[in-house]
Structure 1
Amino acid sequence: MTQSLDPGRGFSVGTAVVDVFPPAGTRMAGFAARTEPSIGVHDPVSVRALAVDETCLITVDVCGLHETTCQEIAAALPLPAASIAVTATHTHAGPCIMPGRLGGHDERVLAEIRSAAITAAEKAIARRTSAQLFYREATGIGVASNRRHGERRIDPPAQLASFHGNDGTPLAWVLLYPCHPVVVGPANRLISGDYPAFSRGALESAAPGSTAFFLPGAAGDVNTGHSAEASYSLSQKTPRTLAEAERLGTLIAEKTLTATPRPLPTDGPAAARQLVVDLRLEPLDDVGPEEMAAKWRSEAQATDPGRAALLRTWMQWAQQRRADEELSWHAPVTAFTWGPLTLIGLPGEPFLATADEIAAGLDGIVMVTGYTNGCPGYLPAKDEYRFGGYEVLDAHRYYGMPAPFAAGSAEELVRAAVKLASM
């Protein structure tokens, strides 16, 4: 697992990991149908930082991060805010830490995770050492499925960037695979990073002493083969267990490692840019919140516990609506340039087509992930609105947003990302 390097060239790279262990009884985010809190920790909330020259990527094993939390983390670090990308791995087995979204937040756990992110980033920056960048990708993984259109076959690549020290030893891995971390289902009550945690473990086992990072890509419409609505119930027809998460996570990493890595040239120091796009929200419901709440209240009295918990979440959403709510959101788009590799960070949950469009508009190697610097809900491709479904019509309620993002919002992010990376 070593590569021949030119020690006189490369990036300045450092990593750090700080783990957080939420106490039993912490509410868990990701499934509105989950009716009870955690009973323990299978694997901790891993907070990881990768410093590359004057850029810093921070990943957190949670379902989502509020943009305010990301801004607070960035403000505490000795780098420009535009040089910091804070990304949720989007595990649906993590703690509730988003104020007003995804089940709310536990203030103590949120504070601990915020502190862990700052500490990890500071350590990573202090530990920077010379390294060279390699890249590989693998297809035929056989895990990802279009959860909205099961008849459409997809085969997104697993992309793997790695930084190697002057002796050829891998120091850091950045694995991107666009697939929802919902292998572990809503019946699970153990805090876990889902399959990404096992992918990281497999990479680190391949190079002891290295640190692995996972990015969930543009996975808004991708999972392992069930509809989003399948998570409305606590009973599952397919195996959604920690054992299955371990199997799939290990499989993804091992298949990716079989691809041949190639060294990437260092075209000057790493660079970062950020652009904020104002996105419009547009209500799509035929009736008002009060009428919908009355319907949900009636249904909740005669349905299963999981569905009833979901409906209570929707009723709470209806109660919080106001006539003067702002129907827009400021969306940060981030671009890191590491030599010929461009890492794009988008907020929220974009669909796979969005990543494909961005990659098609840029030269060189492009890695696109969502869930970065804020997560306010789904950003479907424009042509998906006619199909309706959870991501278009319903998800904004669990996210605590007044309405879904208007059709065309994803395409605005595409234009912003291409413009930003081309500057």
Structure 2
Amino acid sequence: MRVGHGVRVLEVVPGEPMGGYADRSHGVGGVLDPLEVHVVTFAAGGHRFALVVADLICVNADIAGSVRAALRELSIDSCWVAATHTHASPEAGCVPGGAPTPPDVGRRLLAAAVAAAGEAVAAEQDASLISTRTDVDGLAGRRTAGDAEPVAVPVDALVVTTAAGVAGVVTVTPVHPTVLPADNSDVSADLNGAIRRALAAPGRWVVAATGAAGDISTRHTRRGHGAAELDRLAALVAGGLRLEPAGEPGPDAVHPPLSQRLSLAPKSADEASAATRATAADAADARTRQVFEQGRRIARDLAAHRRGEPYDVDVQAVRLGGVTLVAIPGELFLELGEAIRAGAGPDVVVVGYANGYLGYLPSLATPPTYETLVSPVRPGSGEQVADAAAELARSAAHAEEST
């Protein structure tokens, strides 16, 4: 297998709208740390796959398609485009159900992705790939109302090794990168950028993606809202990850991604109406209650413009050596991300916010929370997506075994 990496800064425009927080009214003021677009290419067996990870609140299907088409000109056969979901980035059309990408944001993302992809292809070298996982205590917890208990957050890493040692790392952390608050006006990759810095070393590139983070954040574990707290939390991740290969790498092969289109039903009239009447009586703190009320306002808007036709989304899986990546076009709850892994094997890594943005995909049994209020789809949609993803991951692994 040959693996390459490239990176470009994602330019921002002072004053342009920022995404992520419903109660944010100001635009971009400055730069805390530059937003980046990373591309990692994997090539073997006549197929080249690229993973594009951008420091944006989301990527919608329109810009993902544009990037995919442009990268074909660089002999990249297939690619995924994922957002880190930082809430300190320009607005990118991140609304429930997805929206068109603002043209100027799309233009800048496309230019950065093409340049980074060209660099990645040129930098490809013989390498092996393994996946590792560690449970990180004290990093984050479930942000749902009434649940302030921290959890051991499972952080995955793809480790790229050459004859000279570890050449690169792709981390996938199922945590909302929302350490910086709503009143922050400086762009930043937030937690993902801090993880990149914490793992950086001479001769080693680092990419930080976000996993099934729908209900996981640092709301109850962070001790501040600035750069020092970002570094503290990132150090927990870096200190726990084991980058030295503990086993043999998988087969030297890259297979074309498998894809399944799902039609997810929108909320019914009764479900939409019930969402607007939900209360936050058991909310753990003032911020949780405030966010819950924001969710009710969004739910009222969704109910007023209720959609009749289903939402079509693409769930995908790709086999890279002995590792299977799964792409989810929205915000899956952690328990459903873990259900995919449980149903498809320990070598599965779930990447969220990839190839489109539907919104939250909570589990069927979730009580009313901000996430369920603003989700545009019916309860059980999360399980529908997770089941399809697990089946695709099993099929991808089986296809490799058959070759």
Normalised-by-shorter TM-score class: 0.7 to 0.9
Q: Match of 2:401?
A: none
Is structure 2 residue 131 aligned with structure 1 residue 135?
A: yes
The answer as to whether partners of 1:264 and 1:340 remain within 8 angstroms in 2 is no
The answer as to whether partners of 1:24 and 1:41 remain within 8 angstroms in 2 is no
**1:191-216 CA distance string (max 9 Å, x none):** 00001101011212xx3132211121
**1:309-335 CA distance string (max 9 Å, x none):** 96998499469827xx44311211121
The answer as to whether partners of 2:19 and 2:94 remain within 8 angstroms in 1 is no
Output the CA distance in 1 between the equivalents of 2:169 and 2:228.
23
Q: Match of 2:379?
A: 407
The answer as to whether partners of 2:139 and 2:153 remain within 8 angstroms in 1 is no
Change (3 A) 1:44 1:345: same
Q: How many angstroms does 1:113 deviate by? A: 1.2
After TM superposition, list the pairs within 5 Å mapping 1:239-388 onto structure 2: 239-257=224-242, 260-271=244-255, 272-283=257-268, 284-286=271-273, 314=298, 317=301, 321=305, 325-384=307-366, 387-388=367-368
The answer as to whether partners of 2:331 and 2:359 remain within 8 angstroms in 1 is yes
Unaligned runs of 5+ in 2: 278-289, 396-403
Q: Give the alignment partner of residue 182 of structure 1, picking from 167, 178, 184.
A: 178
The one-letter code sitting in structure 1 at the alignment partner of 2:261 is: V
Q: How many angstroms does 1:114 deviate by? A: 1.9
Where do 4+ consecutive residues of structure 1 move more than 4 Å? 79-82, 99-106, 309-320
The answer as to whether partners of 2:49 and 2:76 remain within 8 angstroms in 1 is no
Aligned residues: 372
Change (3 A) 1:319 1:241: same
Percent of matched pairs sharing the same residue:
29
Q: How many angstroms does 1:80 deviate by? A: 9.3
**1:20-51 CA distance string (max 9 Å, x none):** 23021121100010121111111122000000
Q: Match of 1:3?
A: none
**1:79-110 CA distance string (max 9 Å, x none):** 89983111100101111122766898643233
Q: Match of 1:65?
A: 59
361-370 vs 131-140, greater mean Cα deviation? 131-140
The answer as to whether partners of 1:341 and 1:366 remain within 8 angstroms in 2 is yes
TM-score, normalised with respect to structure 2? 0.83
Output the CA distance in 2 between the equivalents of 1:162 and 1:211.
10
Q: Give the alignment partner of residue 90 of structure 1, picking from 46, 63, 85.
A: 85
Q: Match of 1:389?
A: 369
TM-score, normalised with respect to structure 1? 0.80
Output the CA distance in 2 between the equivalents of 1:137 and 1:287.
39
Is structure 2 residue 19 aligned with structure 1 residue 23?
A: no
Change (3 A) 1:90 1:264: farther
RMSD, aligned α-carbons: 3.0
The one-letter code sitting in structure 1 at the alignment partner of 2:111 is: S
Q: Match of 1:419?
A: 391
